[in-house]
Amino acid sequence: MVKFWKFVRSFRQLELHRLILMLMVFSLVSMCLLAYYVTNSPKIKEALPLAISDCNNQHRVSQPPRHHTPLLDSSRTDPMVLIFAESIYSQLIQEIVTILESSRFKYRTEIAPGKGDVPTLTDKGRGRFALIVYENILKYVNLDAWNRELLDKYCVEYGVGIIGFFKANENSLLSAQLKGFPLYLHSNLGLKDYHINPNAPLLYVTRANQVEQGPLPGDDWTVFQSNHSTYEPVLLASTKSAEYIPHLSTHKALHATVIQDLGLHDGIQRVFFGNTLNFWLHKLIFVDAIAYLTGKRLCLSLDRYLLVDIDDIFVGKEGTRMKVLDVKALLLSQNKLRTLVPNFTFNLGFSGKFYHTGASQEDAGDDMLLKHRNEFWWFPHMWSHMQPHLFHNETVLADQMKLNNQFALDHGIPTNMGYAVAPHHSGVYPVHTQLYKAWKSIWGIKVTSTEEYPHLKPARYRRGFIHNGIRVLPRQTCGLFTHTIFYNEYPGGSKELDKSIQGGELFLTVLLNPISIFMTHLSNYGNDRLGLYTFESLVKFVQCWTNLKLQTLPPVELAAKYFELFPEEKDPLWQNPCDDRRHKDIWSKEKTCDRLPKFLIIGPQKTGTTALHFFLSLHPGIMSNFPSPVTYEEIQFFNGANYHKGIDWYMEFFPIPSNVSTDLTFEKSANYFESEVVPKRAAALLPRAKIIAILINPAERAYSWYQHQRAHQLPAALNFTFHQVISASPDAPREVRLLQSRCLLPGWYATHIERWLAHYQPSQLLIVNGLQLRNNPVAVMESVQKFLGVTLHLNYTQALIDESFCYEMASIIDLG
């Protein structure tokens, strides 16, 4: 019996162990199944975010109308802003500069003088600056008497206004009178509920029908108080609590945080800010202040052109693509936006290879897009979404485009927009010549866009250019990328997206750019449809707070408008692709920056450049460019039509160095010296290059050029003496005046050297005495080798003995 109960007990223990083991196995299997379900099942969608509501006008504040003054007449000044900074690295200065550069306004920054002199304000009876900005207005009011009188006199005489900022700190007095002004400052306040005074004269872009409700960030605000009629409030707010400022009236009253001085006190118009530009509304008012105080000379029009590209239609992994309901929402949103933005149309970029490569519901979404294809604009990517710079053969590249073109024909996609975008901006910039040729031959492309010219960041520097007849427009990002799909998972939180829309980066992009092409992706219009949320909210916010007139144009018309506004951007400025990591990644691996020259001989003509070119060619470690069939030993790339052929064309003139670290390549183009555009162009492409100029007596150079032209049978040189040519009046025949210019202009040495030194360091420039080159070439070549830092030193004494005849001929030919 005892043995029986022992057996039963052991059996129960065994069963218990098995039960525990089974429970553990069951738990593990359940967890695996749950993990699989969570990972692979469709995401449970939360409610889609709703665009911001329409404007609310019920809180509009009406100030009694006051005396308004006419716009300042600053026409006797150059359109330049003078900034007095305490530190060029401060956040406020960076924000001021960002606005000026984004608006393409010229500026000059000076460290605000304490007791030192202000910079020269006039030149030949004309003012050098149309506006003055003080980072700290106390630097202005505390100027010594001499400089204050000088600056104020300049402002009155030339109609120049002043913008000043006051940023309170822990040492600021709670209440004080601004020295020399009937104006009191009350500082270190907490404020709320920002109002715009609709009667403020400076309002232009800003629309005074909204109230920014809620507390303003920080407790370091300053408000202005005055009974003088010269002051007009611009922005007003109430205090958070009356206890903060017992010296003012009840906290329910509105106090001016930005105030406009109409100039009735001393004849100078000013705008004072009681804080920095951290708060978005201050940036908007700052833009208006610039426009008002410069008589709208530094001012963009109210027209804003928007184009929203949706890249990668049909491209995207399962779960990120558009479904039927998403396409319907896209159409509905487009119709809504058209009521606010005339002609608004989404612009869809397609790669046909990926059509019907999603889940069944997403494939239905593809079909829905094609069903409504005539409701949208369309533009091509590459058929397989490959990067064009990877195709070195133009024919292969064109074949890829033909596949996409055939897909468009098969599905009735309209392709007459004359616009295309390359995947990842590859081949657009840096220029891949094969892409431009294939685009024109297959699609008839006239316009493209990129975010890479001249560089991705900072975005405010993005510009347009024209290459090979195709107009390239700057493209902007809007904070939406392929991975930004869900509102609540937006990087940094959904508030970051809303902040960008409501006065932040996206809003400022529209504010400061007359034309904005926004890049979005297919995935931004599925799932939470962040693309629709973003642009509906942006358009409403812009129209609530500004007087900007939003509209959309097709790409070809948009490009025409862009270069009408910015004709100076038609000519590109080629950069070195190897100086930008992103550019190097989208540049053909068959190309190398090692082919670019290490130094330039820039001229001027008839000073000995051909002789120097010959001497350098004797050096085994120095290689010149291959000759041109048109301009012989000179490429003449940077100063003429050849520049527009691009750097691929330029690099073909240079050999690939056998030893990159020791071999030096160079080119000599003697008309680079006096060109106004060459120094900037050369420094952009060859920032580390060394520059060699040869100078002789400018009178001898002028006469040598005259004799050179006589030898070439130029009628003006044959029919007029040298004296007649250089002393010719403005009424002389045109051909005589042209010859006079070519004789005299290159001899303005100081002017041309100063221009080169604006783009190159003095240590990069060597000036060779042409007379010494003729009389003592060995000594000159010693100094040239030292300047170039060649590792292999050539004994020119022996070299010139061996080549004495050639040297003599070269000297005669070049020096005339």
Tokens describing residue 552: 């959309």
CA distance 610 to 498: 64
109 membership: H or E segment, kind and range: strand 106-111
| 245, two tokens | 């400022």
Residue 316: partners with Cβ closer than 8 Å, 6 or more residues away: 354, 358, 482, 521, 522, 523
- The beta-strand segments (E) located in 634-686 are 664-668
- Looking up tokens 């980072």 gives 135
Asked whether 677 and 759 are in contact (CB, 8 A), the reply is no
Q: Centre a 10 Å sphere on the Cβ of residue 50 and count the other Cβ atoms it contains.
A: 9
Question: Scanning the structure block, which residue is given the tokens 């952009």?
Answer: 684
Residue 250 in tokens: 């009840």
Give 402-471 as a DSSP string: HHHHHHHHHTT----S-B---GGGTTTTTT-HHHHHHIIIII---EEEES-SS-SSSGGG---EEETTEE
606 among known catalytic residues: yes
Task: Give the three-class secondary structure for 576.
Answer: coil
Query: Whole-angstrom Cα distance, residue 520 to residue 316?
Result: 13
Sole residue written with tokens 């929402």 = 329
Give me 21's structure tokens: 């083991």
Rounded Cα–Cα distance for residues 524 and 531 (Å) = 5
Tokens in use for 806?
Answer: 């050639």
- Which structure tokens are listed for 219? 């407790």
Q: What secondary structure, in 3-state letters, does 504-543 show?
A: CHHHHHHHHCCEEEEEEEHHHHCCCCHHHHHHHHHHHHHH
Residue that is written with structure tokens 């409701």 in the block? 375
Task: Report how far Cα 294 is from the mean position of its chain's Cα atoms.
Answer: 24
Counted residue by residue, the chain has a size of 816
Beta partners for 206? 546
- How many CB atoms are closer than 10 A to CB 255? 24
Indicate the angle between helix axes 324-340 and 530-545, nearest 10 degrees. 10
The answer to whether residues 654 and 595 touch, using CB atoms and an 8 Å cutoff, is yes
Q: Peptide bond before 620: cis, by omega within 30 degrees of 0?
A: no
Q: Which of 167, 323, 540, 606 is catalytic?
A: 606
What DSSP string describes 329-341? Answer: HHHHHHHHHHHHS
Say what angle helices 360-371 and 324-340 make with each other, to 10 degrees: 40
Q: Which residues contact 502 (CB under 8 A, 6 or more apart)?
A: 52, 280, 537, 541
CA 132/CA 134 separation, integer angstroms:
7
Count of Cβ atoms closer than 10 Å to residue 634 Cβ: 22
Cα(439)–Cα(470) distance, integer angstroms: 9
Active-site residue set: 606
